[in-house]
Amino acid sequence: MVEKQEIQGLVEEFIKGTGLFLVAVKVSNANRITILADKNEGITIDECAAIHRHIEKSLDRDKMDFELQVSSPGLDLPFTVIEQYLKNEGKKVEVIDNEGYKHVGKLKNVTEGGFELETELKVKGKTKELKDISFNLDQIKSTRVILTIK
C-alpha cells in the first residue's frame, strides 16, 4: 500500500521554491492517489503533469499498482491550508463557523492564525454599513470562494 506521508514528502520536495503549494494528498485502500496543488496565480496543466511525472518515476509499479491524479483543488472545495486563504484575500467568500452560522463578505488581513471578513449590514432605509468580523482559524468549519459574475 502506498503511504500518504511518502507521497506528501515527494510532492513537497518537488515543489519547494516553485511558488506551488500542496493542498491535500489522499490515498485510498485501492492505491488511488489524489494530489491537490495550487499556486497564487493558479496551477497550470503543465505543472500538474510535472508533479505527476515526478511521483510516477519515484514509485515502483513492479512493487505495487496505483492510480495517480494531480489537479487543482477546484472552486467548489473548502479551503484546507492557509495558502488558500492568502491566495483569495480580497475575494468574496462564504464562511461557516463552528456554530453553523454563515457569513459572507470580503476576505481581508489573512495571517497564520486567522483573518477578517468585511461584511455588509443592512440598516433601516436600505443603507449599507461595512463591518469587519475577525475569525481565528480554529473557529471555522469551512470557507469557500463565492463566484461572482460581472
Q: Are 9 and 55 found together in one domain? A: yes
- Are residues 19 and 40 in contact, defined by beta-carbon separation less than 8 angstroms? yes
pLDDT value of position 95? 95
The answer to whether residue 138 is domain-embedded is yes
**Domain presence at residue 77:** no
Burial degree of 84 (CB within 10 A; 0-12, 13-18, 19+): buried
Q: Could you tell me the residue range of the domain that residue 61 belongs to? A: 4-71
Which of 71, 94, 125 is the last residue before a domain boundary? 71
Q: Is the pLDDT of residue 144 over 90?
A: yes
User: Among 17, 43, 71, which residue terminates a domain?
Assistant: 71
Domain assignment of residue 131, yes or no = yes
Within a domain: residue 99?
yes
Tell whether 113 and 59 lie within a shared domain. no
pLDDT of residue 44: 95
Residue 74 has pLDDT above 90, yes or no: no
Shared domain check, 65 and 86: no
pLDDT of residue 125: 66
The number of folded domains in the chain is 2
* CB atoms inside a 10 Å sphere around CB 20: 22
Question: What is the DSSP secondary structure assignment for residue 126, as one 8-state letter?
Answer: G
Say if residue 63 is in the same domain as residue 90: no
Q: Is the pLDDT of residue 148 over 90?
A: no
**Which of these three, 19, 44, 71, is where a domain ends?**
71
Q: With 80 as the cut, is the pLDDT of residue 128 above it?
A: no
pLDDT of 127 > 70? The answer is no
Residues 24 and 62 in one domain: yes
- Residue 90 and residue 51 share a domain: no
Say which CATH number the domain at 134 has.
Answer: 2.30.30.100
What mean pLDDT value characterizes the chain?
A: 91
> CATH code at 13?
3.30.300.70
Q: Has residue 124 got a pLDDT over 80?
A: no
Give the residue-averaged pLDDT of 46-69: 91
Q: What is the pLDDT of residues 92-120, one digit of tens each?
A: 999 999 999 999 999 999 999 999 999 98
Each residue of 10-54: pLDDT tens digit? 999 999 999 999 999 999 999 899 999 999 999 999 999 999 999
Cell of residue 71, nine digits: 489537479
In a shared domain, residues 62 and 100: no
Position 9 in a domain: yes
